[in-house]
Amino acid sequence: MQIARVKGEVSGTRGARLPMEGPFLNAKEEKQRLIVIKREGTGTEMPMIGDRVFVHYTGWLLDGTKFDSSLDRKDKFSFDLGKGEVIKAWDIAVATMKVGEVCRITCKPDYAYGLAGSPPKIPSNATLVFEVELFEFKGEDLTEEEDGGIIRRIRTRGEGYAKPNEGAIVPVALEGYYQDQIFDQRELHFEIGEGESLDLPCGLEKAIQHMEKGEHSIVHLKPSYAFGSVGKEKFQIPPNADLKYEIQLKSFEKAKESWEMNSEEKLEQSTIVKERGTVYFKEGKYKQALLQYKKIVSWLEYESSFSDEEAQKARALRLASHLNLAMCHLKLQAFTAAIESCNKALELESNNEKGLFRRGEAHLAVNDFDLARADFQKVLQLYPSNKAAKAQLAVCHQRIRKQLAREKKLYANMFERLAEEENKAKAAIAAGDRHTDAEMKDEPKDVAGSQPQVETEA
């Protein structure tokens, strides 16, 4: 329904009925809501669905009784627009306002508190009048850290409440902007989690996972959620660039969640995903490969309904996934995560050659030489022909010798400094003693060597 907006001052005093001004929304029915602009706002931007808006307001009944005011509390009121957090009239009216605008909103009961009212201040079927001033609005922050890295503003609301999950198939239309210049314009059909292979920023995929079918949104990305410190040469995007995307999610097909699959489906999907992860790994797309192997772990790790034969297959898939995760983490230099993945693999198979070797590599990368040496020694003890472990063990010994030499030099220097400081301290004490002796020699003494006697009167 279109909203009526008229300019002009609305007068009214406490106890007097406030006039219902402006044209009817429909000639055949009584007007449901009305905005009278008391002061124009600035700019052209208006809040969008999901924006956080900050306002001051005062509310009256039609007889002029004031029932609430944020001004009295001296604290601005904020809410998420279009999410049903306030009465319907507010969601509709504030969406038409600009920053700095002051308006008066008349709300019929159906767009206020209806038959129930809001006791004790607002009776049943009450028409309400609000004066509202809009101070600011900002888009919805989609990041877990709430660091402002992914800001969404909804142009057109989508249908329903379902949203795409990891692995969902999504057809989208998108336009990418850098400094208001379009650099990417495409229609794509892809799986969530594979966007990087299509030159899509990770932040855009995260935003898509918050969208509803048919939704049209504007997404603002900070560099860490866009193309980062590298940029994107293909699009001539420099390092550390802020980006904006307009994106429409035409529809989506959700991937099955773990609880929606039976044991046979989990094993079948895990095998498919493992092969896909291997393809990504060979192409050097380690982040995409990580996502595939993580799916397998999430599907199989806590499944208890497998038959003996299925459990054996699941164990083999889990072991391979943890080992492959470790390799991906090593490539991405996430050494702590690599160690954790190796530990998971070694819980399944304590003498696994790859698990021990890759954990040794991770320990070596963070200079835990003793732990690395222990892992490589165990590999050679179990698998004497492993030349790579032999080479890495030699590296460990070399690094340990260098570390010992550095420590020896460090301690030698430290002891030299301590000895030097001690000698200085002794010299200072000795100099002080000599000074004291000299002072005592200069003092006058009597014949017996005692202090001079004071002359007294006879």
As annotated, the active-site residues are: 57, 67-68, 87, 113, 130
Structure tokens at 269: 């999907």
Stretch (H or E) spanning 379: helix 369-382
Nearest one of 58, 51, 50 to 76, comparing CA atoms: 58
- The whole-angstrom separation of Cα 404 and Cα 396 is 12
Spatial CB neighbours of 179, under 8 Å, sequence gap ≥ 6? none
Nearest one of 326, 321, 332, 275 to 298, comparing CA atoms: 321
Nearest one of 78, 36, 39, 72 to 55, comparing CA atoms: 78
The answer to whether the beta carbons of residues 51 and 104 sit under 8 Å apart is no
The answer to whether the beta carbons of residues 34 and 130 sit under 8 Å apart is no
- The whole-angstrom separation of Cα 32 and Cα 101 is 21
Structure tokens at 313: 């297959």
List beta partners, residue 80: 52
- The whole-angstrom separation of Cα 133 and Cα 97 is 9
